[in-house]
Structures are given as structure tokens and as C-alpha cells.
Amino acid sequence: MAVEESKWFYDLSTGEVSQGKASGFENRMGPYDSEAAARKAIEIAAARTEAADNWDEEED
């Protein structure tokens, strides 16, 4: 199994996770090392966005 196929992805259109690239890039978040991390994709993205926003505010 290729490295990319062993990773987990979150499908934005269905809310499902899959191992390997099961959907097109426009609906896919990842790769994640585990199924559990892929299930938290939205939370992870929100936390990263908040951290970036906070950093931007500190720089202004």
C-alpha cells in the first residue's frame, strides 16, 4: 500500500472518513495519520484558522 493510501481523509460533501483518496481534492481534507484525526478534521481546521487569525492580530 502506498503511503498516501494508508492515510485518512475527510470528505466535506458526505462527512465521512476514508482510508486513501476516495474523493476529489475539492471535497477532501487531509491526509491525517489516523481515522480519529480525520474525524476531527473540521475541529482541527477551525483551531488552525483561529491560531492564524490570532497571529495576524498580534502582527498588526
Give this prediction's pTM: 0.78
Q: Which residue has the higher pLDDT, 5 or 60?
A: 5
Nearest-angstrom CA–CA distance, 28 and 12: 6
Residue 22's closest CA among 10, 34, 33, 35?
10
**pLDDT over 60 at 1, yes or no:** no
- Per residue in 2-56, pLDDT (tens digit) is 667 799 999 999 999 999 988 888 999 999 999 999 999 999 999 999 999 999 8
